[in-house]
Amino acid sequence: MTVSEQCAKFIEKSPTAFHAVAQMKARLVAEGYSELFEKDHWNLVPEGKYFVTRGGSALAAFVLPKKWTGFHIIASHSDSPMFKLKEQPEMEAEKSYIRLNVEKYGGMLMAPWLDRPLSIAGRIFTEDRNSGTLCEHLVDLEEDACLIPNLAIHMNRDANNGYAYNAQKDLLPLYALADQKTSLMKRIAAKAGVEEGDILGSDLFVYNRTAPSIWGEHREFISAPRLDDLECAFASLEGFLKGKKREKCSIHIVFDNEEVGSGTKQGASATFLVDLLQRIEKSMGRDYEDYVIDLEHSFMLSADNAHAVHPNVPEKADPVNRPVIGGGVVLKFNANQKYCTDGESAAMFRQLAKKAKVKTQVFTNRSDVAGGSTLGNLSTLRVPMRTADIGLAQLAMHSPYETAGNADLAAMVKLFTTFFA
């Protein structure tokens, strides 16, 4: 299997951030990593292999070095824009249709969500009847379950001249006909092997069911849902597992909620990374001053996908720095520090790329375009270490079906493997 085929498989099995973390957990357990829990005291040993999760949707895996020399970290994110089901999701229309009441999660391109098979996945919580403790169940309907139909061109002749979607009116998925009794939550419960009445809480999302595709005359492209940022999360884990991890404390960390500003306990603005670093330091017998010194000997790559120049709309890109699919790993700069790359971290990144023998290219916004942001600058507020913002060039960012390049993904894995060597 090629790297892209493996990535496509990982993405297909990761309809939500919870599933992406479960996939990574399974892989780490298979590779001999021990799970730690934030609620326990940790007794770590040199050369030990561990992972820990927070909120069910953020994960950090790490290996302790024999001799202490600081941290090497790759950060990415597990979430993507999609629709979240509201409580009591079924809504009737025209006494004939059942629709699902959803709200937008993240800054999505809305039009591409219409007229394609969608399904529902996420997690539910039930109470254990004996102990009274809460149990988390991941759930995925794994079949075409709903669809957001477009309005016919005949009913809006201006449809092709731009349309302002109303999220409460235009984007509600059709779920069933109303002539029979329906219960989505009953269906969800059955899929999880529990009773509907036992569900005490849920985080359920509508996701795109379209399978990933590897295509192009020379099979140079990969198109898939959630490439931003599962492609980087996948590459980070691959590099982490393949790298020899001898010198520094190597950390693969994936945060949730980047698409909604990272301001949650499992997001990059919270303490997940700093708590982890300080607990590692403490278990290695190092004090706070040692920790501050160690940050000076550390480096972080914040990996989140980047915009490739669009073949049909090339004028939206910067006149000089124009990343393309197939051009190599992208290094991102922004004067206003939406990306935290500076001259020094750029130089460190380029040294690494030279060592790994991978091509690189640069992304900057046009000076008259605000552009996006990512998690790097938020992480460095908590953990002030040298950081470069990087990513893979892709088209249609925040569409439910995005496109990137196979050679770039392979280059990213090679770069990360070298970083963790």
Number of residues interacting with Zn ion: please give it, by CB under 5 A: 3
Stretch that binds Zn ion, among 55-63, 103-111, 160-168, 221-229 (CB under 5 A): 221-229
The Cα 80–Cα 173 span in angstroms is 18
Candidates 79, 229, 256, 408: give the one binding Zn ion (CB under 5 A).
229
Q: Does 304 bind Zn ion (CB under 5 A)?
A: yes
Stretch that binds Zn ion, among 225-233, 310-318, 352-360, 401-409 (CB under 5 A): 225-233
- Rounded to 5 degrees, what are φ and ψ at 124? -130, 160
Stretch that binds Zn ion, among 19-27, 53-61, 227-235, 402-410 (CB under 5 A): 227-235
The Cα 72–Cα 383 span in angstroms is 12
Stretch that binds Zn ion, among 83-91, 99-107, 222-230, 317-325 (CB under 5 A): 222-230
Q: Does 402 bind Zn ion (CB under 5 A)?
A: no
Candidates 228, 256, 281, 294: give the one binding Zn ion (CB under 5 A).
228
Instruction: Identify the bridge partners of residue 77 per DSSP, sorted by sequence position.
Output: 255
Shortest distance, CB of residue 397 to Zn ion, whole angstroms? Answer: 8
Stretch that binds Zn ion, among 89-97, 123-131, 298-306, 328-336 (CB under 5 A): 298-306
Shortest distance, CB of residue 227 to Zn ion, whole angstroms? Answer: 9
Identity of the residue, 123 or 226, whose beta carbon is nearer to Zn ion in the bound complex: 226
Identity of the residue, 17 or 63, whose beta carbon is nearer to Zn ion in the bound complex: 17
Shortest distance, CB of residue 264 to Zn ion, whole angstroms? Answer: 15
Residues 37-76 touching Zn ion, rule: CB under 5 A, are none
180 to 219: interface string for Zn ion, x by CB under 5 A: ----------------------------------------
Shortest distance, CB of residue 374 to Zn ion, whole angstroms? Answer: 6
Identity of the residue, 175 or 333, whose beta carbon is nearer to Zn ion in the bound complex: 333
Identity of the residue, 33 or 207, whose beta carbon is nearer to Zn ion in the bound complex: 207
Q: Does 389 bind Zn ion (CB under 5 A)?
A: no
Identity of the residue, 229 or 402, whose beta carbon is nearer to Zn ion in the bound complex: 229
Binding site for Zn ion (CB under 5 A): 228-229, 304
